[in-house]
Chain A
């Protein structure tokens, strides 16, 4: 399991240099505008905007195809089911099986919205270092408790996943994975072992958290209550503000077009 988020975040494209707060607001605006689209005529402009943003990010296409793989299975389920179950206008029939026009159009709409939003989200995440993204969220008013939880969870996720892998290997080496499960019936022994494994992982994490808390406390964590981490908006370059304005105009354009068409 690869957890490193910052593999592509230190490149030098314009998208990478865009100020994180402006980028977050601008791209999230575009994401929500795309989610607002219901009219099929807006799908081509949506794909054009998405492709332009992806090219400006300089990210390799393999990152996108890799990212699309897992959620793509869900989409495949929709593509296979929706045209046959949703709608009224039959465009093709074979026995009791009917293909509906409305279902097909809904599938196209969902597929394009899905690919576009996922690509924009990928651009946002892959072109911004994780810490910069957290700082931007904090600066935009995210609670310090949530920010700290996010940072610590991300920090220890790799350690805990490694710990789980080691524990599973140890269990397997002791012959603990010999499941006697039958068709549709789980093996009670394996079930209890998995519960104990998860329980041990929780206990280890809890004990580790006590050590982490003590170490953090010694460094003054939790003493500066109410201290905010608001970065100065005046330090942002004009070009970043202009890019933010442009992205919000594009987002607004989609919403307006959807309302007016």
Chain B
């Protein structure tokens, strides 16, 4: 879900950079309120590299295989660093492989990063769930919601931007149908992403729970 160079008009690209700058500034403000902001940098950087590598994994779904987005999971683990991590990852992808683009970096960061932050807030809701409920089930449920919402919102943003900015006259109804159809076509991927996030979060909860509860990635409000 990377918008390549040349597709979007400059106004959208500049607007994307402006909103990305604002979101990055807000994230940095939250991070700088931490006890030791420098402590989180190597952790966020290495986890960004790990997410970058993990996004190369494919799930076989015959006759093809599915490549996971993982932005919801990134939000769950990295908290306020998630948007910066996505910005870094997209910049590296653009300059190393030509995936996405430099002119569309801001737009792509918003498409992937805003859902990651939403996923973070969704996962935080598990702390407000009644304690009498099965904790494992609650964690799995909110991890599923976080993973699924990350991909679903990204798909909606991506296809809306792509279809609504095609530089030729298209029928308004056809545009709406295209956006709705392409987003609905992503429902199996959204469910798969949600299940994958839930399974992975439950694995981390069992093996390395501090990765989900670390204070370095969760700045004080």
Query: Given known contacts A122-B98, A194-B59, is B10 in contact with A199 (CB within 8 Å)?
Result: no
Within B55-94, which residues are at the interface with A (CB < 8 Å)? 56-57, 59-63, 66, 70, 77, 81, 84-85, 87-89, 91-92, 94
A28 interfacial by beta-carbon distance below 8 Å: yes
Q: Find out whether the CB atom of B91 lies under 8 angstroms from the CB atom of A36.
A: no
Within 8 A of A (CB), among B1-54: 4-10, 13-14, 24, 28, 31-32, 36-39, 41-54
Q: Which residue of B lies closest to A213 (CB)?
A: B42
Beyond A85-B174, A146-B87, whether A125 also contacts B41 by CB under 8 A is: no
Q: How far is the CA of A32 from the CA of B11 in the complex (A)?
A: 9
Q: Which residue of B lies closest to A102 (CB)?
A: B168
Asked if A195 contacts B199 (CB within 8 A), the reply is yes
Which of these, A1, A112, A153, A210, contacts B88 with CB under 8 Å? Answer: A153
Stretch in A10-18, A54-62, A157-165 touching the partner: A157-165
A221 partner residues in chain B, CB cutoff 8 A: 38
Partner of A148, one of B5, B45, B53, B54: B45
Residue of A nearest to B166 (CB): A86
* In the bound complex, CA of A184 to CA of B28 (Å): 42
Residues of B within 8 A of A202 (CB): 47, 50-51, 54, 77, 200, 204, 211
A116 at the interface (CB under 8 A from B): yes
User: What's the A-B contact tally at a CB cutoff of 8 Å?
Assistant: 243
B94 to nearest A CB, angstroms? 7
Q: Contact at B211–A203, with CB atoms within 8 Å?
A: yes
Q: Is B103 among interface residues, defined by CB-CB distance under 8 A?
A: yes
Q: Which residue of A lies closest to B8 (CB)?
A: A35
- For the residues of A in contact with B, the DSSP-based class is helix
A 173-191 contacts with B by CB, 8 A: 179, 181-187, 190-191
Distance in angstroms between the alpha carbons of A181 and B99 in the assembled complex: 29
Interface check A25, CB cutoff 8 A = no
Q: B172 contacts the other chain (Cβ, under 8 Å)?
A: no
B49, B77, B166: most-surrounded residue (chain A CB, <10 A): B49
Residue A143, interface by CB 8 Å: yes
> Which chain A positions have C-beta within 8 A of B24?
143, 146
A186 to B193, CA, bound (A): 12
Alpha-carbon gap, A107 to B167, bound state (A): 9
From A103, A192, A208, A222, B199 is in contact (CB under 8 Å) with A192
The segment out of A71-79, A90-98, A229-237, A239-247 that lies at the interface is: A71-79
Question: With the chains together, A195 CA to B7 CA distance in Å?
Answer: 34
Which residues of A line the B interface, CB within 8 A? 1, 3, 5, 28, 31-36, 38, 67-68, 70-71, 74-75, 78, 82, 85-88, 100, 102-103, 105-106, 109-118, 121-122, 124-125, 143, 145-146, 148-154, 156-157, 159-161, 163-164, 179, 181-187, 190-192, 194-199, 201-206, 208-210, 212-213, 216, 221-222
Contact sample, A vs B, 21 pairs, CB 8 Å cutoff = A35-B8, A68-B98, A82-B166, A100-B168, A103-B168, A110-B167, A117-B102, A125-B95, A145-B37, A149-B45, A150-B45, A152-B46, A153-B49, A160-B46, A186-B66, A199-B207, A202-B47, A202-B200, A204-B50, A213-B43, A222-B38
Closest 7 CB pairs of A and B: A222-B38, A114-B6, A152-B45, A113-B6, A36-B10, A117-B5, A205-B50
Given contact pairs A5-B95, A71-B101, A118-B4, a sample of 17 additional A-B residue pairs in the complex whose CB atoms are under 8 Å apart:
A35-B5, A38-B167, A71-B4, A74-B4, A75-B4, A78-B7, A103-B168, A117-B5, A145-B37, A157-B53, A161-B52, A179-B60, A187-B60, A190-B60, A199-B207, A203-B207, A216-B42
